[in-house]
Amino acid sequence: MMKVLVTGILLILALAAHAQQGRDLQDERYRIGTGDVLDIRIYNRPQLSREAVRVEGSGMIRMPLIDTEIQASCLTEGELAKEIATRYTKYYRNLQVDVFIKGYHSRQVAVIGAVNDQSRFELQRRVRLLELLTYAKGPSARAGQTVNVVHSTDTSPCKQANENEDAAAFSSYRLSDVLEGKPEANPYLQAGDIVTVPEADQVYVVGNVFMPLTIPLREPITLTRAIAMAGGLKQDTRKDKIRVLRQEPGTSVRKEITVDLYAIEKKRSEDLALAPNDIIDVPTSAGKSFLRSLIQGVVPGVGQLPVRVVP
């Protein structure tokens, strides 16, 4: 009896999982939006078929012989085809109607910032944040620890499943959580969303080192570690006069911190923890400085990005 009961419970769970999977697949289907272009084909009725039908801003389309407009937005291709066939029952029975989306224009999202391929994407289905980052070829080496999503202020008439009705205009997630696919950090994206991956805070090592470089500050870094990452010190370095230029938070004022590496190496002084945007300038014994201007790249505007399709 117990075995039969357990088998029954497992069967119920399996059926429930199958039903949930079906609901998830249905939820993933693309729903027509304003601006989309449709091809509507009616079998054996070429006079009724239409090509390049653009969905109006109201979400409506018009068809021959039908007096009133037809709601197209928020429906799938199959749902709209069924609705059109129903409207024609006054004139024809058992019409075979097919609807195809020819142009996707209602669901664009953009990915900018520290990714390997900044682009706009036209979504032909619902897409989660992690999947979109893979289409952008992932975060670049300059990426920081967060991913931000700026939500469109446009309100969509379609209320899809699992959407938060009180969604904020801005959401932020830990990049590591997104890359692990954690559900709380991997939301579905909405039409008009802009995904930004900020660059990590940085420190700069210049002067009498083997490889002057910029170091993303993804974790705490000390002065000696930063110098080691820059290949170490060259000969004739003035080790007791290492300069760290630090900008005061919220101001344009920079203060200079002089560090004695000899004292750190002999444990007479603590290693300096670096702060965002610190510039480490390593001078020579002759007192020469190799400090150079640091130029920050400009992220291209969203409107200038190429448009790619997510099938």
The model's pLDDT over 120-136, given as tens digits with 9 standing for 90+, comes to 898 877 889 999 999 99
Does 168 score more than 80 pLDDT?
A: no
Residue 42, pLDDT > 90, answer yes
Sheet holding 194-197, edge to edge: 170-174, 146-150, 194-197, 108-113, 119-123, 307-310
Query: 228 in helix, strand or coil?
Result: helix
SS3 of residue 220 by DSSP: coil
Residue 144 contacts residue 166 (beta carbons within 8 Å)? no
Q: Average pLDDT in the 98-114 region?
A: 86
Domains of the chain, first to last? 37-103 (3.30.1950.10), 108-200 (3.10.560.10), 202-282 (3.10.560.10)
The DSSP code sequence of 176-214 is HHHHTT-GGG-PBP-TT-EEEEPBPPEEEEEESBSS-EE
The pLDDT of residue 299 is 38
Place of tokens 């923890």: 273
- Residue 4: predicted pLDDT: 46
CB 52 within 8 A of CB 39: yes
The rounded distance, in Å, linking the Cα atoms of 69 and 45 is 20
What whole-number distance in Å separates Cα of residue 152 and Cα of residue 194?
A: 8
Helix (H, G, I), strand (E, B) or coil at 42: strand
- Burial profile 296-311: b = 16 or more Cβ within 10 angstroms, e = fewer: eeeeeeeeebeeeebe
| More confident of the two residues 12 and 150 | 150
The pLDDT of residue 115: 94
Q: In which residue are the tokens 């499943």 written? A: 161
Greater confidence, 89 or 1? 89
> Is the pLDDT score of 25 beyond 60?
no
Of 76, 88, 2, 101, the residue nearest 45 (C-alpha): 88
pLDDT at 292 over 80: no
Average pLDDT over residues 14-37: 59
pLDDT at residue number 106? 65
pTM above 0.75, yes or no: no
